[in-house]
Amino acid sequence: MGVTAPARAAAAPVFRHGVASGDPLPDGVILWTRVTVSDDATPGSGVGEAAAVRWEIATDARFTSLAASGTTTATADSDHTIKIDVSGLAPESNYFYRFTAFGTSSPVGRTRTAPAASATPDRLRFGVVSCANWEAGYFGAYRHLAARTDLDAVVHLGDYIYEYGRGEYGGRNGSVRPHDPANEIVTLTDYRIRHAQYKTDPDLMALHALVPFICTWDDHESADNSWSGGSSHHDPAVQGDWQARRVASARAYLEWMPVRTSGSGAAVQIYRRLRFGTLAELSMLDLRSYRDQEATPGAGWREVDNPARTLTGRAQMDWLTAGLASAPVRWKLVGNSVMIAPLLFPPLEPATSAAITTMMGVPQGGIAANSDQWDGYTADRQRLFSAITDQQVGDVVFLTGDIHSSWAADLPVDAANYPAGPTVGAEFVVPSITSSSLGEIMRAPARTVAVPVEASIKGANHHLRYVELDSHGYGVLEVNRDQTQMDWFYLTDVADPNSGVRHGASYAVRAGGRVEPRPALLP
């Protein structure tokens, strides 16, 4: 017997996971929610009747002027999540949206469309975030972003969830709050439960309800250090077939996230491009689905230079280089889940050091600090940098997460020849929301270890203009005709749900220029 609307509405919140929007276009946006159709129809349960859901989007918060509306059905097959790709909206406009089921309305969300392709906006501002580990702390960074009124969107660069089991990966002093389920997530049920838990965080819920998200995944949405054929933390003998786990993680992600995709099943594609008038275009990459296995230190070091190995896959690389070359905009932004700036010890000039590197069996450009990054796939990076140089593409800026630290870098064609040699753009890397920083991993007092390490890194890699290895927080990116600037903001204590925030640094790249420090932006 079905549950009547009045009884269901009284039983428990219908929209307990909030609302969200994403991937804004000039005439459309994705709207998302989940419907709890009965108390036993919990995320991942696979039970619960189908429910009719009405959605509405309006130009005013009272919904007196509807721009679009419709009815859809929430079913157990999609974990009772709803995704609506709304079209027919006006460009560069604010909208309000809501869902209704069982006679109950969801919280009202606010979203914003992108400027028209021919528009010339004065500026854009994006929140930029990465690496939010539930067990390591509270999501105060989302709360402080939600307090702003100047954001066009939030760019999430991956590790939106973490896959570890309860107690396996906490913060400086252990786990602050426990993961659900308790085990490391492997099955579709597991991934659905974990996504649902993250969607109950009040700070994340508030931010989702206020501004559209533009997201890509990194590795922890599936498993640590994942690649197309496996993961360094996946044991088939214990955890089953990798491809089954990968498909399950991707399915849950796409059910629970306001992301626009193409293709379906194992061939689903999340790399995509969003345009913001003539000012900027944002290419969001997928650097996990197509990559080869990470090269291992020692005997496997020279594999980083193997031209047959790829990080992006051929189709995505062709898409990226063609898009950068043809983009009719001032700024070409790239949403990039792992760092592309060289981080080498020491940076070597291949033309003069080939004899030494061949004899020692190390990469031509120097030993990479982290071969999970583009440093471990130098042929792909060279293909990309050559395309930018050969086609004279200017004003390219990579936005990156993953490494739980903050960086501003020029991107030299030859790191050993910087600053004399050419550069192909700039990179701004944001810190983690909560995931452990270098100092926390070493259980060291704040800044005692990081400061000398930062100085050593910049001393060896001169193109790295700013490095901060300790703090958690977020970035705010402003794009205008003259420059693209990142401001870094750091939380006082992620173990405190009411943590304050401070401004950390500001760096910008001017049109046709290189990275330099700049005054902080005004809200």
Say how far apart CA 292 and CA 513 lie, in whole Å. 34
Phi first, then psi: give them for residue 209, nearest 5 degrees.
Answer: -75, -10
Beta bridge partners of 109: 97
Intervals of the chain under pLDDT 70 = 1-12, 265-266, 299, 348-349, 351-363
Say how far apart CA 137 and CA 139 lie, in whole Å. 7
Phi first, then psi: give them for residue 267, nearest 5 degrees.
Answer: -100, 10
Residue 389: CB atoms within 10 Å: 13
**Strands, E, within 271-405: which ranges?**
272-276, 280-284, 331-336, 344-345, 367-368, 396-400
State which H helix or E strand residue 350 sits in.
Answer: helix 350-360
Say how far apart CA 401 and CA 338 lie, in whole Å. 6
Percent of the residues in the chain that have a pLDDT greater than 90, as a whole number: 85
pLDDT attached to residue 353: 54
Please give the span between the terminal C-alpha atoms of the chain, in angstroms, as a whole number: 54
Q: Chain centroid to CA 424: how far?
A: 22
Secondary structure of 458-471 in the HEC alphabet? HHHCCCEEEEECCC
Q: Is 9 exposed, middle or buried (0-12, 13-18, 19+ CB in 10 A)?
A: middle
State which H helix or E strand residue 358 sits in.
Answer: helix 350-360
Burial 302-323, CB ≥16 within 10 A → b, else e: ebbbeeebbbbbeebbebbbeb
Phi first, then psi: give them for residue 95, nearest 5 degrees.
Answer: -135, 160
Rg (CA), the chain: 23
DSSP line for 230-273: EETT--HHHH--HHHHHHHHHHHHHHHS----BS-GGG-B--EE
- Strand, helix or coil for residue 11: helix
Which residue type occupies 149?
T
Task: Please name the residue ranges forming H helices in 361-483.
Answer: 378-390, 438-441, 450-460
Domains defined for the chain, CATH in brackets: 1-113 (2.60.40.380), 114-517 (3.60.21.70)
pLDDT attached to residue 217: 98
pLDDT attached to residue 264: 73
pLDDT attached to residue 3: 40
State which H helix or E strand residue 408 sits in.
Answer: strand 406-412
- Cα Dmax for the chain: 78
pLDDT attached to residue 9: 43
Of 350, 351, 385, 347, nearest to 367 by C-alpha is 347
Residue 46 contacts residue 225 (beta carbons within 8 Å): no
pLDDT attached to residue 4: 42
Say how far apart CA 51 and CA 101 lie, in whole Å. 7
Structure tokens at 59: 């130009």
Say how far apart CA 141 and CA 431 lie, in whole Å. 10
DSSP 8-class letter at 160? S
Sequence-distant contacts of 387-393: CB under 8 A, at least 24 apart:
387/321, 387/324, 387/325, 388/321, 388/324, 388/424, 388/425, 389/413, 389/422, 389/424, 391/321, 391/324, 391/325, 393/324, 393/325, 393/332, 393/424
pLDDT attached to residue 440: 81
Say how far apart CA 388 and CA 332 lie, in whole Å. 11
- Strand, helix or coil for residue 320: helix
Say how far apart CA 326 and CA 330 lie, in whole Å. 11
Of 426, 416, 406, 413, nearest to 460 by C-alpha is 416
Of 58, 15, 57, 18, nearest to 37 by C-alpha is 15
Residue 132 contacts residue 494 (beta carbons within 8 Å): no
Q: In terms of pTM, does the model score above 0.85?
A: yes
Percent helix, percent strand, percent coil in the chain, to nearest 5: 25, 25, 50
pLDDT attached to residue 12: 58
Say how far apart CA 310 and CA 317 lie, in whole Å. 9
- Strand, helix or coil for residue 223: coil
How, if at all, do strands 66-74 and 51-58 pair?
Answer: antiparallel
Say how far apart CA 513 and CA 463 lie, in whole Å. 13
